[in-house]
Structure 1
Amino acid sequence: MPRGERPLGPEDTALLRFAGDLRRLRDQAGKPSYRELARRANYSPTALSDAAGGRKLPSLALTLAFVRACEADPASWTKRWRELAAEHTQPLHPDAPYPGSAPFSEHDAKHYFGRECLVEQVVESVKATPVTVVVGASGSGRTSLLRAGLRPALDDCVVVTPAQDPVHDLAVALADVFENTTADQLAEEFRADPDHLRLRIRQHRPGLVLLVDDAEKALDAVGFITAVTRCPRVVLSVRADHLRRWRATGVRATEITVEPMSADQLRRAITEPAAKIGATVETAVIARLVADAANQHALPLVQQALAETWRRKRGMTLSLAGFEESGGVEHVVAHGAETFFAGLDEADRAAARQFFLRLVSVQRNGIVQRRTRRVDVGAHLLELLVKARLVALTEDGAELTHDAVLRWPRLAEWIDEERENLRTHQQLVTAIELWEASDRDPLALYRGVRLRKAKELGEFLTVQERRFVDMSAKRETRRSTALIAVMAVLIALVPGTVVYALSNERKITEMNASALGGKALSQSEALLEQRRPYADKYALVGYEVSPSPEAEKVLRLSSAVARGIPFTGTPKDDADVVVAPRGEMAAVTDQDGTDRMWGIDGDKAEPGKKFAARHRVVKLAERRAVTKDDNGQEHLWAVNDANDITYLAALPTRFHTLDLSPDGSRLVGKVGDAVDVGLPTPDESEHAELYDLSDPRTPRKLPMPVRNPETVALSQDGRELATGIWDEATGTTTIEFWSIGGTVEPAAPALAQHVYVRGITYSGDGRWLAVEHSSPESVVEVWQRVPSESPVLRARLDTALRAGARVTFSDDGRVAVVRDNIFEVQQLYTNDRPADRLAYVVGHGGSTRAVYRPQNRDFLVRSGGQDPELLPYDLDTGQIIKRMCEKDGARLTDSEWVKSFGEVERVEVC
């Protein structure tokens, strides 16, 4: 007989109330035994009993498993758990390797990594020129650069931070530098003659470098700017949105921009501070943060997420469990946003709501995206937004700091309420950009239905947008007045005919637009089939004249073909193309049958080094490649970039690679002669092997949990392995998930599929899993991965093909599938909403999977047929149009227009 639960006693603490509510939740579920709960939750009865014991706070994963086993809502319990966890987490020790929300100080210099090249660049500039200006967006790390980077790197320097009285603040900072004087005396001296500072430095401290932080606050203080810029050596930090004000001072200086951290820089900023004090960061945490924040102005959010994870560390390890318990970047943003919003009065709340919505765009396909806008909000509110790390200010304007802000529940609700207005507003913004690009051509102004809808936006409009709408309205009024005058004359002459003509004017215009748009699209498609130029120009005409899903599809495809990335010197009939996980490199077969590395930058490819003679690339990952020679022997290579490849080692004899983790840390394959990936084989001697590539010259064999799986897949960081075992008797494939560390342990409940599974693919962040099976046609199912719990089916993509689907994921919840000559993209959701199809194009080759490029926000897909060319496929129609118009590649010549459309009035697309 099971023993009863230990009584909780008076629930006079938050932890005891939490445990008591868990017990009441179990009672409401019919009070199942802990053994029964264990069966449902995939946790031991003891762990579940301890969760409701009230002695310590259970982990988030354990709490949610308990809640789901009792069939309750996990969302509300997640919120409650995090509130309680905030009270029980360890305080951030002064020697913690991450500063959290505060900038790095000189005390933190030993933990300051990732900006070494930038520090060196500024130091060299200081040696070469008197005035150096460091320009960066808010949140880019300018203060940290000065205090933790430059201050330790320079022999003699002082940091000055101007505020209300810049000259006095300067005097205070220098009071300890110059002996026998006070701050008040220095301030009076500098006000009397700003040049005294230069003279003092030359006489007393000739090597002194002034580091002026937040210099934008003192740009209107002429005496301060004059004093510091006349000094022998000065570095000024200026926020990017004030760059024009700085340039207006007329001071000659070397400008250095603080760019967002690259993936490698961010990886160092995450791992090196922990390594300095003997701690480690799990690869899954690194992968999540790099995917979240690389090449974005989100460094403060990363530091806050790391600080929260540090508070929840296991021993000296920042684990994925601790990271997920902290909520990561998304929780940091949501918590900061709610704290910010709670501190506003009603007027500021309304202004903040309007401002947030102006930084959001809703695309035609319904996808919500961030966008950059010129600032149109009070300075006080703007500074609060910047301080809360919700908005970044750049030279181009304001933008939300991170996609996680879009998922802030309050903002998500506002977006849903205003979705139609946001879509209309996005169309207006695009129209204004095209109007500006066409030198404000009156023909590009709004009229008709679009003008009426724009007028209804009201408070959504900025001053510039309201001016555009007013100009459009005035032109429409003049046009209508002229039309009425003509009608009055003509009615007197031929009343019936003119009235009939005017009443049908709109119908005739729409018919002409439809016919013109159809003809333009037909011309574009014909040019696409012949692979001739200008297909994108005709597609843009068709889309602008008569927008439709079909026109949008043709525009996307023609744009991708126009931007195609060729590989010269490659055979057309036998060229393998293997693209690196982030699309920055590709291995392509040369004429001699040997693969060559190519570097890919934007829409260009530059040839690099070749592998050994007749070696063809089997798998390509970050910094690793596996090749196969003519004898079938496989080999391991280091690939740092297209021009830096190094042979490492031969893999075991008869080894055939099945998967290489995208970060290049783990390798799994089969040993045997009858290996045919995706089909069951009768070879009893065949078996799978798993290797750790930490020391790639001597791969270390790890325990393989399954002897001979039909299919396998490794996660991004190689820490999780999925294996599929086919049971012919029951017609079932069992997919099991294994956590790979010092040992191999089950990572989640197994997934049974009553079909033959041909392929498994992880998303980069580990949140999604794609399973391809045949029933009998090829079907791709996409499952949401829930830590330590069973996956949840979110999408099913059917096809008429029997096999051959190749799957990849973007970092924003999209899944791309290439099947034979079909390429499609679907948007996934973490609730019951069906996936939305964003793209479905026929004409792509089936010999490569699509690869998402986060740096370009597009997919690379191999072109149709056997051509090795890669097509950059952008799903953002507005971005396509903007790119074409900026490069002046959108306008058909007069002869091209007349040849295709005769005397029809030209349509201006930009």
Structure 2
Amino acid sequence: MEPGDPVLVEFAEALRELRRKAGSPTYRQLSTRAHYSTAALSDAAAGRRLPTLNVTLAYVRACGGDAREWEQRWRQADAELGWSVEQEDKAVPYRGLLAFHEGDAEVFFGRDRAVGEVLARLRERRFVGVFGASGAGKTSLLRAGVAPRWPGPVAVLVPGAQPVEECAIRAADLVGRSTVEVHDQLRADPANLALVLAPVTGLLVLVDQFEELFTLCEDAGEREWFIRALVALGARAHVLLGVRADFYRHCAEHEPLVEALRDGQVLLGQLTAQELHQAIVGPATARGLRLESELVTRLVADAVGRAGVLPMLSHALLETWHRRRGITLTLEGYTAAGGIDHAIARTAEAVYAALDEHGQTFAKATCTRLVALGDDGDTKRRVPRDEWDHDQTTTAVLHTLAAARLITIDQDSVEPAHEALITHWPRLRAWLAEDRDTLRVHRHLADATRIWQDLDHDPAALYRGTLLTRARDLLTTHPALVTTTQRQFLTTAHTARKSNRRRQGLSALTVACLVAVLAAVGLYAARTSVDNNRRVTEAVVGQAMAQARVLRSSDPSLAGQVALAAYRLLPNPTIRGGLFDVVSAFNQANETPGDFDETHQVVFHPGGRYLYTASHGALNVYDFNGTPTPKFSHAVPDLGAVGRVAIDRTGRTLAVAAVQGPVHLVDVTDPRAPKVVAAVPSAGWVEPHFSPTGPILVLFETFTSAVHGAPQPLSEDVIRVVDVRDPAHPVERASVRADEEAVGFNHAGDLVTQNPGSEIHLWDLGDPAHPFRRSPLPNASAEPYVALSRTAPIAASATSGSTPVLVGTDGSTRLWDTTDPLRPRATGRIPGMVALALSPDNRFIAAANRENVEIWDIRDRDNPVQYAVHIASNFTFGTVVFASDGRSLVIVRNNTSGLLWPVDVSAAESWVCQRALRPIAPDEWARYFLNIDFADPCAPQPGP
């Protein structure tokens, strides 16, 4: 299948027409809706290859198309392009290397005892794990044994590389909802998986090959999300895991999983001689076949007592079936197939020998690509279909291997039928042993190519230097390994390198000529050379930082050192932000729902050690305990559903406003033992604010009341001034109606408010019993305050043109000098307006927009300087809050999970180097920083 194939052209044109009918949204907009990269979506409509079914349906749903119609269209195109393998012959009694699935229950024998044990355990508890060695038959047991006997519906799930997406697809299919909609809901909170599946009664969620969570999923955040989602689901439905026994220790590293599996584990052992007899004879009898008694005796003798023997046994039986005499499977046929020990190798060798020389080259490349290399042993690897070429040779080789049941092809991926192929085919083991470095270079190239595609072919993501040279060597030494897309990546990188060298050469020639003609122009030439070198360094460092982001889940020690070295070489805001991103990922809980799950407000204790969050409707306390990472301490009981929270200037009292109910005053003199000391009654939604200058608490209360004759309830706003000198006995001094919103206190103790016309008012609370409102601030109606310093005359406001808004993408943030609060002076302006925060020392301001969170150094108010950038896509609303010491920032996006993000370079450096398991080696350095002198980033730095 080549680009230009009529089937591809027609399919791609239909996708493009669907996009036109949807109003021609940009691919960035489609990416936001579909949760796929812009590169994947644009490639889907390019007509170069058939996109996967999942990408196609995501594209269609993002354009408002009919998913059912497009699924039929995709399957038709897939069949016409020759990817699919013929339907299984229903007369075949044995599965070979393939596992038994739900449709094979009638030929699945030998595991009645284990199936009964699993079902009994499921009746006792909702969360069960089945552990067994590779080749013990876990998948067959679960899918052909347990699933058909379960009295209710069964959903089968395999984690893969993107478990959140897999959950969304399976859950959406089960409840008949949009995958995109379900994906958004699941991303917001892992507990939502239970809510999505709640309508399905008696559900069993069967998670097969759970170990893929550790072998294929490289994102620690997604791993943690998946575990938390399953544990939460276990409270409403039954969950059954199938796990390879050698991944038991990986499961033990996750406390929620340990607790969920406590007393809920089934260990799958070897089949007894009697069970082996049933597994051998039963399938043949069910298909009207018979086995020679000598064959049965030999098979049981060859298999009994051997660990992991089932795939080899099944494959030997399949090959014996191919050599049967009439309806009888014979010992002669079994011997000719090679028996248990050699049947897999003989089948694989026969398939390989039947290919021509060109096909054999591609078979080698194909099989080695399907293996994940590991220091503790190689495992099978699932490769997405969009990473394969669709040319005639590749398609034919894949089809041939699949027809022999050595590999499996589904709608989205290709993988070995079983890991027994790796261990029992000597030729494949030899291929893997002969040049593992080359295979790792190719695996690195595949990852880099995908990153380049995901970044819309960003030149900064291209290979350079040694990486490019080593990868281009594959084009000569192992051309069959390199796909068309990878060739495009290498060609683009090579062209960029030649262009850069040409520019450098021309620059050198220009310098020589100019020096010969006019020495005075040498300064210009020198600057040109410096600019060229700077651009090269920027490109190398940008690529290194991109690789550090990829490494942070698989090798955080190396990722941290690469990121720190990149920052030392190029300390600009983007690279500094990349360093902070990598450091934040050292704490796995940072980017996973859980620690700050469903948080809508964060308040730091002035002392800096503790913080409080309004999460899940409760007030939670977290303890830093001298580390950069907060750990959950406890939840404050008896508060009801929590709305807003504020803390006084001394750090002794919290004001906790209930969603419906009073405002609780909580004594946090000892943050480890908070206690409610008083409750101020309330009739509506309350927003508390403590004065920075005195013991004054302002409650801005909004409540609605029904008025006779009015079509809707009327809303009323009241400012209540409460004296909290004795928090246990608060005294309300005044209550004033005000048709305006409270922004907060400024540094001088004035309450700042904004009315519906966007006028700004200052309320003097010098006499708490008689607050009065001053005249509107001049020239402030277009830019309402949205962030106020509590210690200095600084304020920040957000605006979009002449219309004040708090949420948007086209506006900016204005800084104000409020030395004279009645005559604020406009100073610098910075982009960003979704959320704002000023650091306690007034050095930084954090400004968020839909694409990122930017930290700006505002020590020079008139000329703020960008300091660091954190990418936070789809930040439509949320919170940014600086820690009390100003060295870190909590970012809560869309009231989902919170991220603790460092903003102090020295702390980040210390965090990286304390966790460097070993220093970065010179050869590793050369891989990321070509032609840049080696410098250990964690070596002692020279003094000033």
Q: Which has the higher contact order (CA 8 A, sep 6+)?
A: 2
- TM-score (normalizing by structure 2): 0.36
- TM-score (normalizing by structure 1): 0.37
